[in-house]
Amino acid sequence: MTAPRLLQNSSLSINRPTIFLIHRTAISSISRRRTFSQCHYRPQQHSERELQERLQAARPLVPHRAARKFTQAGSSRNSRLTVIATVLAAIGFYFYNSQTVPVTGRRRFNFLSDSMVARAHSKAAAQVIEQVRAQGGHFLSEWDPRTILVRRVMKRLIPVSGMTDLNWEIFVIADNRTANAFVLPGGKVFVHSGIINVCRSEDALAAVLGHEIAHNTASHAAERLSAAWVGNLTAGSLFFLAGALPGLALFGLWNVVGGYYLQDLLFYLPMGRKQESEADYIGLMMMAEACYDPRAALGFWQRMHALQHVSGEEAPEMLSTHPSVSLAHIAEKFGQTDET
């Protein structure tokens, strides 16, 4: 039944215009139930020329002036002068911080003090302790014979190390499978019990600990950090001098050809070898001054090389930071000592 007949049959007195209004409302309610495809709205059509004009007038996400400055960074004369001035300042800074290594007299670049390096490694000891305990390991007690041995050797080496003002702490890790020992900047000594078995004598243990202490005496950690700072500054200057986009391309090419590997192979690895040989020499002088027999170092390094060869962990001679040439060097020193 339609809406007009329903209204006529009702008892209400409604005039005809009211019936017409209700009828239009019913029609509009039906039209609202139409699907989207039947909607009367049509998108506004734009010509191709109008679209091009709108695209040209659109505001870019990055302003052209800022983009031009970024892409042309390093190519302008002022930028190049800035880079050149920075490089010259870096060269002056390098020679200003050129130092002489104690005992050996080697010249090297180092702008970091021992206190700065010690602060940088202040959390390293806590991290080592946490790592040992996380792996289920533990430290030997103070009354363990191996701990007593390490403390006795350190008690004789510290006075001749030139670092008596440090707060020395000694930790002996119960791990017979690992033959290792290291001394962190700031006087934190870590010794794996496995290296005590390889030493076989107190003199050999003095050679190991003297070698590790010598790294701190010569400030080798500070030297490595300083060299890394200079390397990063030099690489960054070259990338900036090439410009933003060419610099990014140069950086990508540097990674593709293994630039960091070549940097380690040609720069950091030779420096590591030089530091190891230097630590050998300083450690021998140190243990001799502490009244230990330096000849025990030769037997220890021979056993270490034999152990690495048997376990298959021996690194190639070219990639080793402590090559076998050190053995010949030590033997040569012993020969000179015997002759004199």
End-to-end CA distance of the chain: 131
| Closest to 283 in 3D by CA, of 191, 185, 205, 336 | 205
Residue by residue, pLDDT tens for the chain (340 residues) are 555 444 444 444 444 444 444 444 444 554 455 554 555 555 566 667 776 777 667 666 656 565 555 555 555 666 677 767 877 887 888 889 999 998 889 999 898 888 888 888 888 999 999 999 999 999 999 999 999 999 999 999 999 999 999 999 999 999 999 999 999 999 999 999 999 999 999 999 999 999 999 999 999 999 988 887 777 666 666 666 655 555 555 656 555 555 566 667 667 788 888 899 899 999 999 999 999 999 999 889 888 888 877 776 655 444 455 655 455 566 566 555 444 3
Q: What is the β-pairing status of strands 181-184 and 169-173?
A: unpaired
Q: Which of 212, 223, 276, 278 is catalytic?
A: 212
Please report, for the chain, the start and end positions of each structural domain, with discontinuous segments joined by +: 112-339
Q: To which residue do tokens 């930790």 refer?
A: 171
In the prediction, which pLDDT does 20 show? 44
Distance (Å) of CA 221 to CA 167, 183, 224: 18, 11, 5
Helices marked H in the chain: 3-9, 16-32, 48-57, 64-71, 77-96, 114-120, 124-134, 145-157, 193-199, 202-217, 220-241, 244-256, 259-263, 269-289, 296-311, 325-339
Separation CA 216–CA 291 (nearest Å): 21
In the prediction, which pLDDT does 90 show? 74
Q: To which residue do tokens 């490595």 refer?
A: 224
In the prediction, which pLDDT does 194 show? 94
In the prediction, which pLDDT does 121 show? 84
Q: Is 202 annotated in the active site?
A: no
In the prediction, which pLDDT does 54 show? 72
The dihedral built from the CA positions of residue 331, 334, 339 and 340, taken in this order, carries a sign that is positive
